[in-house]
Chain A
């Protein structure tokens, strides 16, 4: 069974701090996606990584796909209160028909 494990589960930091959240699996994924979800809303796609070792940057967010395509990380520089939310990683299931999601990391950034 494919599983995506995210850590930490909760993270509470002050504005301006840096942080990294992780998404790990024992399975190889052809690609991984990161989503951000605010309370009461659906997840919103941030990025898709497809190549082992790939690094993508989105303003203050840096995403990395592991060389073996079993893990990914999201690094946020100088976090802001607007970064608060649930960060989810997702990858295609073995059948390639749908995405499976991790349980997410809940980030709270206070000013």
Chain B
């Protein structure tokens, strides 16, 4: 297994555009998480999937954000009408159980100009 993969690694977009990120978790992990991290901060929880079900969303996840995990495999995170405040590193992680350590991907660095 090659670990958690995220694509793209970097994305520069103009304000108001839509962007979509992809995460491929470790295949046997049924839990998948999205976090956002800004400079000098720890990762902030955005949303959590168990298999294909989205079981929890943070209040940080505004209506412009949507995440899916069709068939309980890869996941996508879409941001509509991007704003400069959306600039951050978006991290995906997977695990077998919440007590288990997370395996993180390398993240997608989003810059909104």
Contact = CB atoms under 8 A, between A and B. Distances in A.
Contacts of A100: 45
B101 A104 contact: no
Interface in B9-62: 33, 35, 40-45, 48, 55-56
Contacts of A96: 98
Given A41-B106, A97-B55, 9 more contacts: A40-B107, A41-B107, A42-B91, A98-B56, A99-B45, A99-B98, A100-B45, A104-B41, A104-B42
A101 B89 CA distance: 15
A40 B109 contact: yes
Q: Identify whether the interface residues of A are mostly helix, strand, loop, or mixed.
A: loop
A6 B40 CA distance: 12
B98 A43 contact: no
Contacts of A93: 45
A95 B57 CA distance: 12
A2 to B, nearest CB: 11
Contacts of A104: 41-42
A46 to B, nearest CB: 9
Contacts of A97: 48, 55-56, 98
